[in-house]
Amino acid sequence: MAVDSLETEIDTAVRVVHLASSLCVKVQEKLHLPNGGHVKSKDDDSPVTVADFGVQAIVSWVLAEVFGDQNLSIVAEEDTETLSEADSLGLLGAVSNAVNEALSEASKYGLPKPVKPLGSSEILKAISRCNSVGGPKGRHWVLDPVDGTLGFVRGDQYAVALALIENGKVLLGVLGCPNYPVKKECLSNGCNQAMKTKAVAGSVSKGCVMYAKRGSGQAWMQPLIVGGIPESATLLKVSSVDDPVLATVCEPVERANSNHLFTAGLANSMGVRKQPMRVYSMVKYAAIARGDAEVFMKFAQSSYKEKIWDHAAGVVIVEEAGGVVTDAGGRNLDFSKGVYLEGLDRGIIACSGQVLHEKIIGAVYASWESSSL
């Protein structure tokens, strides 16, 4: 499908991510108040919050209103199992309140607004509508409602990530990064104290939404503002640094599903001098798209499988901003195989440019021979 026919899709996606990000800001503020937050553990012990369910409900409801729910395919992280448990009534009530508070503002974002507040059953229906598994054919929206929930719970970085895939190709991506700081240093130094002590509830003093359409050669950034959409956007461009010695490397914070030891050895073998920037979530892709970092490498532990919602939006934004994203063998990521990035060669490498990317791929092959990964 021609990219220029995606105007309604990109417009709706950007608007709904702005709205979803505003919900996240309010929920994250409440998490740091006494008795302010509902945080539950999923089967894999990862945390899930009001924001995870609230964002999924809002995005699902809005997409169904705009595009109809007949052939709507949404691949997303959460299901209603946790919410439907007997001890989750308080969580479901908090989700309902957050969703309806956000949707009451929908018209300010140029989005449809419910005639009356959504009931619990309508919210559960919206969340459970996101039960597609994607695949090689057709059009699929891909959502990670809160990417980096651990960062979110800790008052740190996280992202709302929405992408559109058609016939296995990512057509557009939107990343909402409500805590993405204006100053690059804050990413690695954890300048989140100001956020925790903000005086005005619901205010957004930092944060942005990034977005791109496949084939446009452009990626854009808008600031998050209270109660609406900004009128302007800034063009994003990756860094021009192509020497590994000068490069800033992003790494996942979580050790559970990535091999930090191999990444550190690889960076050392390339002569990287700067300390790695350890960041939660797809904010790593945002940092590369905006030129704040040059490299993101993730080498998963052998038992871990990468999911499409953790990468789709970030990949297209980095690529349209001038960057390169492949697996460690230099092949494009394959989003056509369902929920998982199947056939991934060792890991994922996102880079600010082709020259740097080729140097890293070469270093991976050299390091791999002497590695016991």
Place 191 in a pLDDT band, splitting at 50, 70 and 90.
Answer: very low
* pLDDT tens, position by position, 253-275: 766 656 666 777 777 777 777 88
77 is in an annotated binding site: yes
> Which is more confidently placed, 97 or 47?
97
pTM: 0.91
Query: Which residue among 12, 49, 80, 149 is the active-site one?
Result: 149
Per cent of the chain over pLDDT 90 is 62
Query: What is the pLDDT at residue 163?
Result: 98
Examine the pLDDT at 240 and tell me if it is beyond 50: yes
> Which is more confidently placed, 360 or 13?
13
Domains along the chain with CATH numbers: 7-236 (3.30.540.10), 244-372 (3.40.190.80)
Query: What is the pLDDT at residue 204?
Result: 42
319 is in an annotated binding site: no
Place 43 in a pLDDT band, splitting at 50, 70 and 90.
Answer: low
Q: At what angle do helices 50-67 and 7-31 cross, to 10 degrees?
A: 160
Examine the pLDDT at 65 and tell me if it is beyond 80: yes
Place 371 in a pLDDT band, splitting at 50, 70 and 90.
Answer: low
Check if 80 is active-site.
no
Q: What is the DSSP string of 165-191?
A: EETTEEEEEEEEETT--SSTHHHHHT-
Query: What is the pLDDT at residue 99?
Result: 98
* pLDDT tens, position by position, 134-144: 999 999 999 99
β-pairing verdict for 74-76 and 249-251 = unpaired
Query: Which residue among 12, 49, 52, 80 is the active-site one?
Result: 52
Lowest mean pLDDT among 93-97, 105-109, 259-263, 294-298: 259-263
Burial class (CB in 10 A: 0-12, 13-18, 19+), 115: exposed
- CA neighbor of 190 nearest in space, from 147, 156, 152: 156
Place 206 in a pLDDT band, splitting at 50, 70 and 90.
Answer: confident
Q: What is the mean pLDDT of residues 90-107?
A: 95
Residue 340: CB atoms within 10 Å: 15
334 is in an annotated binding site: no
Cα angle at 38 between 82 and 283, to 5 degrees?
90
Query: What is the pLDDT at residue 189?
Result: 52
- CA neighbor of 232 nearest in space, from 208, 205, 204, 202: 208
45 is in an annotated binding site: no
Residue 21: CB atoms within 10 Å: 25
Average pLDDT, the chain: 86
- CA neighbor of 347 nearest in space, from 358, 359, 336, 361: 361
Q: What is the mean pLDDT of residues 146-161?
A: 92
> Which is more confidently placed, 195 or 105?
105
- CA neighbor of 130 nearest in space, from 294, 323, 339: 339
Examine the pLDDT at 214 and tell me if it is beyond 70: yes
Examine the pLDDT at 373 and tell me if it is beyond 60: no
Rounded Cα distance between 282 and 110, Å, is: 26
* pLDDT tens, position by position, 270-308: 777 788 888 889 999 999 999 999 999 888 777 789 999
Residues 283 and 187: beta-carbon distance below 8 Å: yes
Examine the pLDDT at 205 and tell me if it is beyond 60: no
Instruction: Please provide residue 99's backbone torsions phi and psi, each rounded to the nearest 5 degrees.
Output: -65, -50
Query: What is the pLDDT at residue 363?
Result: 86
Q: What is the mean pLDDT of residues 126-154?
A: 95
* pLDDT tens, position by position, 313-366: 999 999 999 999 999 999 999 999 999 999 999 889 999 999 999 999 988 888
Rounded Cα distance between 19 and 209, Å, is: 11
Write out the two tokens for 252: 């996942």
Query: How far from chain centre, in Å, is Cα 343?
Result: 22
Check if 52 is active-site.
yes
